[in-house]
Amino acid sequence: MEIVDCIVVGAGVSGLVSATRMAQAGRSVVVLEASPRVGGCIQSWHLSDEIGAGGEGADFWLEMGAHTSYNSYSQLLEALQERGRLDDLLPRAKLGYSFVGPFGALQSPMKLLNFFQAAYSIPFGFGKTKSGRSVAEWFGGLLGRGNYRRLLSPAFAAVLSQPADSFPAEWLFRSKPRMQSAPRKYSFPGGLQGLLEALVEGAAFELRLETGAMSVKRSSIGYEVQTAAGPINCRHLILAVPVDAAAELLTEAHPDVARDLQSFPMSSSEALAVVLPVGKSRLPAVAGLIAESDSEDFWSVVTRDPIPHATFRGFTFHFRPGRLNRTAKLTRAAAVLGVEPTDFLYVRETINRLPAPGVEHPKRAAAIDVLLSREPVALVGNYMIGLSIGDCAERAAHESDRLLSLQE
């Protein structure tokens, strides 16, 4: 029977940072990924998939999931540095966001801010702790409820691609040390998925694509993970998968933890990515658009503009789930961009699934950490300390170090 020191289930940011850290410590590591690609919530769409490697614009890519990384994501950058690829980072141009109304009119975020209300509210809200408060409660108290309703509520919903009012305030904008040698905002050749692929190239761990974990049970040395190719035994197990998948895998090995994880809510957004020729849309170069109203059918539009391309512009609309069919989405996207649906050269759709944490979520996550504190298993998905790429990398590093300390 195959035996390794560590099995990592899932080859997204969390899984690959975990695998890198465990392998650096001299452990034998196998990463299992059910899909044919790395990336998880990061999904970079390459036009070469549509037009072939030799076609015009084949070097164009567009993010359909997570889209921006910062130099405060130090654990991710450290893993990239270990591969010797830090110099390949692509700085993103400094572009802003605009709000878009139902008729396509753009508005600066500052136009929606009532400065008098903010000046009145800030002294009363600045010193209050974020712990135990929702985003709506804390930021509404900081800048005023009117400012929150007009400006922050739709902006946060755009960032999270889900309703944000109940999101735990302590999980939003957590301070992280910056790696000063890296650009403040960046991407990578081939998009952020290319960055994760770089973590695999020449790595000291083994990646097995299209090989999912079917079940997990305790074994004499730690855990036995069943795959379609047979069982693998490991001393340490790291689950870098969505919360509902983690719950299912832990049903036999840790039923109490599995029950807690089953109660974590999930959300989804429907991503529609469109590509236009440069100059077709009159929309000025922006990092993204934010829908002004809850009645709008999308939360946000993320653009490729911060990394301009000579031939194409790209836009990813994150639609609210279950509202529009494909034709209606294309019509709405065209209206926002000031073009016709027939002007889109290429179109792709996907569904992004994310946790939907509420204000009580940090306490529930902390309770699970207590249950697993002395167990050789780690949960490193995007549901334990926050949703961002940096949160995932931070959690992966922390939990990998905890597992390594169990043997000391």
What's the number of domains the chain is made of?
2
Domain membership of residue 32 (yes or no) is yes
Q: What is the pLDDT of residues 366-376, one digit of tens each?
A: 999 999 999 99
Q: What is the band of 58 on the pLDDT scale with cuts at 50, 70, 90?
A: confident
Domain-located, residue 58: no
Among 171, 193, 224, the domain boundary falls at: 171
Integer Cα distance of 15 and 13 in angstroms = 6
Do β-strands 106-107 and 97-100 pair in parallel, antiparallel, or remain unpaired? antiparallel
Does residue 116 sit in the same domain as residue 261?
no
Please report, for the domain that includes residue 208, its CATH number.
3.50.50.60
Residue 245 lies in a domain: yes
SS3 category, 275: strand
Q: What residues contact residue 49 under an 8 Å CB cut-off, 6+ apart? A: none
Q: ∠76-78-80 over CA atoms, to 5°?
A: 75
Same domain assignment for residues 187 and 235: yes
Instruction: Give SS3 for 32.
Output: strand
Measure Cα distances from 340 to 4, 98, 111, 335 in Å: 55, 21, 29, 7
- Judgement on whether residues 158 and 13 belong to the same structural domain of the protein: no
Res 316: pLDDT: 98
Mean pLDDT of 47-58: 82
Q: pLDDT band for position 304 (50/70/90)?
A: very high
Q: What is the pLDDT of residue 98?
A: 95
Q: How many CB atoms lie within 10 A of CB 401?
A: 13
Average pLDDT over residues 75-89: 94
Q: Residue 160 pLDDT > 80, yes or no?
A: yes
Average pLDDT over residues 33-53: 91
Mean pLDDT is highest, among 8-22, 44-58, 173-187, for 8-22
Q: What is the pLDDT of residues 95-148, one digit of tens each?
A: 999 999 877 788 899 888 989 898 888 887 777 899 999 999 999 999 999 999
Same domain, 156 and 211: no
Say how far apart CA 35 and CA 215 lie, in whole Å: 17
The answer on pLDDT for 51 being more than 90 is no
Residues 36 and 141 in one domain: no
- Range(s) of the domain holding residue 374: 2-45+183-265+357-405
Q: Which pLDDT belongs to residue 161?
A: 93
pLDDT (mean) for 61-69: 93
pLDDT at residue number 1: 80
Q: What is the pLDDT of residues 349-361, one digit of tens each?
A: 999 999 999 999 9
User: Which of 119, 150, 171 corresponds to the end of one domain?
Assistant: 171
DSSP bridge partners of 62: 45
Segment (H or E) for 17: helix 13-24
- The mean pLDDT value for 70-75 works out to 95
pLDDT tier, 50 (very low <50, low <70, confident <90, very high otherwise) = confident
Q: What is the pLDDT of residue 308?
A: 95
Instruction: Look at residue 385 in the predicted model and tell me its pLDDT.
Output: 92
Average pLDDT over residues 78-89: 94
Q: What is the pLDDT of residue 394?
A: 95
**30 plus 166 within the same structural domain:** no
Mean pLDDT of 12-39: 96
Residues 17 and 162 reside in one and the same domain: no
158 and 216 share one domain: no
343 in any annotated domain: no
Looking at residue 67, its pLDDT comes to 87
pLDDT at 105 (0 to 100): 83
Q: Do the domain assignments include residue 328?
A: no
User: Is it the case that residue 53 has pLDDT exceeding 90?
Assistant: no
Domain match, 17 and 137 both: no
Q: Are residues 151 and 198 in the same domain?
A: no
206 domain-assigned:
yes
- 217 and 155 in a common domain: no
Q: What is the mean pLDDT of the chain?
A: 94
What is the Cα–Cα distance from 108 to 153, expressed in whole angstroms? Answer: 15
**Is residue 57 in a domain?**
no
- Give me the percent of the chain exceeding a pLDDT of 70: 100
Task: Please list, residue by residue across 26-54, b when 16 or more beta carbons sit within 10 angstroms of its beta carbon and e when fewer do.
Answer: ebbbbbbbbeeebbbbbbbbbbbebeeee
Residue 190 included in any domain: yes
- Average pLDDT of span 208-227: 96
Confidence of residue 56 (pLDDT cuts 50, 70, 90): confident
pLDDT of residue 391: 94
- Convert the pLDDT of each residue in 240-287 to its tens digit: 999 999 999 999 999 999 999 999 999 999 999 999 999 999 999 999
Written as one letter, the residue type at 82 is: E
What's the whole-number mean pLDDT along residues 55-69? Answer: 90
| Domain end among 129, 150, 171 | 171
For residue 126, what pLDDT is reported? 77
Q: Specify whether 32 is located in the same domain as 154.
A: no
Residues in the chain: 408
Q: Residue 332 has what pLDDT? A: 95
163-175 pLDDT, tens digit each: 999 999 999 888 8
pLDDT > 70? residue 408: no
